[in-house]
Amino acid sequence: MLIGGACDPGGAAFDAFLTLSGAREGGRIIGFTTASSDPVGSAVAWKDVFASAGAKNVEFPIVDRRDRAQNPRIAQAVLDAKGIFLGGGDQVTLVSTLSGSSVGRAIRQAYARGAVVGGTSAGAAAMSETILAGGETNGRGEAIARHLGPGLGLLGFSSVVDTHFTKRGRLQRLFRRVAENPELLGLGIDEDTALIVRGHLAEVAGTGAVTYVDGRAVRFDNADEVLMHGASLTLSHLRVGVVGAPYVFNLRERELEIVVQAEHEEGETPSVKGEEVL
């Protein structure tokens, strides 16, 4: 479950994680604030959020260094959990700390066994095969170096996830990354909005929407000129769509599931027995 950040503790996006993980019924939740610049303070705040929402069995161990990500007790707690929650901050820090560690491997194993893995902001951005960070300006107008690298790999489909999408005006950033890597599926998730993934189907919940960007049909781009000379981005035939609640997006087909189903039904050929059409 990927949340675009700034989730309302009483909203549909966060409620979906609580419901699916059984948190209100005592399902064990293990959370990590590894991405935060203040992991301890963030852990305290998130425990309060979960408690106020009715979650009864929540632990936020402090994993702020690589050596702590090798702790076997924490790894076992992850394996025993019904829900795993990754908080916000810096997705590069989160991935570099957890990826390949005992805790990181335990998260992958728990996910494979059926645990619900949820993340908000950086926690959501880190789940894809490829992570995106930087490539924009900060509050002082200074350029932040672009980062495109490996993520935790829980979400496949050659996807890259961007969060706080509409609020921070990140459409152009996602366009550029997909132009540079046309096989990527860009997913821009709004604040207080969740993308709930089951297999290859992803349902949207919450107050915003999810924007998808598919570069496979692009006929022309000047991504090299943008990278080398800072030219303005030019693209032709980029596929872009917006999905709001409660619609379902087919990650495999990169299209709304309602459209995929309609095309499937239109393409069915009726069977014939003798001269009678069945």
Q: In what order do the strands lie in the sheet with 2-3?
A: 58-59, 29-32, 83-86, 116-120, 2-3, 193-198, 201-206, 248-250, 255-256
**Domain 2-277 -> CATH class:** alpha beta
Confidence of residue 277 (pLDDT cuts 50, 70, 90): very low
User: What's the pLDDT at 275?
Assistant: 46
Residue 125 is predicted with a pLDDT of 98
Contact yes or no for 92/63 (Cβ under 8 A): no
Percentage of residues of the chain with pLDDT beyond 70: 94
* Average pLDDT, rounded, for the chain: 94
Task: Measure CA 271 to chain center.
Answer: 42
User: In whole angstroms, what is the distance from residue 67 CA to residue 97 CA?
Assistant: 9
Write the burial class of residue 173 (CB in 10 Å: 0-12 exposed, 13-18 middle, 19+ buried): buried
pLDDT of residue 117: 98
pLDDT for res 132:
94
Residue 94 C-alpha from the chain's centroid: 14
Binned at pLDDT 50, 70 and 90, residue 227 comes out as: confident
Name the more confident of 144 and 3.
3
Percent of the chain with pLDDT over 90: 88
pLDDT attached to residue 145: 82
What pLDDT does residue 269 have?
54
Query: Do strands 83-86 and 116-120 pair parallel, antiparallel, or not at all (unpaired)?
Result: parallel
Q: Which among 37, 41, 1, 2 has a CA at the least distance from the CA of 20? A: 1
Question: Looking at 101, 102, 121, 159, which residue is catalytic?
Answer: 121
- Active site residue: 42, 99, 128, 164, which one? 164
Catalytic (active site) residue 237: no
Residue 278: pLDDT above 50?
no
pLDDT confidence of residue 276: 44
Band (135; pLDDT cuts 50, 70, 90)? confident
Counting every residue, how long is the chain? 278
What is the spatial distance between Cα 229 and Cα 183, in angstroms, rounded to a whole number?
23
**pLDDT at position 142, please?**
67
> For the ranges 24-38, 64-78, 226-240, which has the lowest average pLDDT?
226-240
Catalytic-role residue among 129, 191, 203, 257: 191
pTM here? 0.93
**Residue 75: its pLDDT value, please?**
98
Mean pLDDT on 170-174: 95
Q: Sketch the domain layout of the chain as residue ranges.
A: 2-277
Alpha-carbon gap, residue 225 to 94, rounded angstroms: 32
66-75, 136-145, 148-157, 209-218: range with lowest mean pLDDT: 136-145
191 carries an active-site annotation: yes
Residue 164: active-site member: yes
- pLDDT value, residue 144: 81
Mean pLDDT computed over 38-44: 98
Residue 139 confidence class, pLDDT cut points 50, 70, 90: low
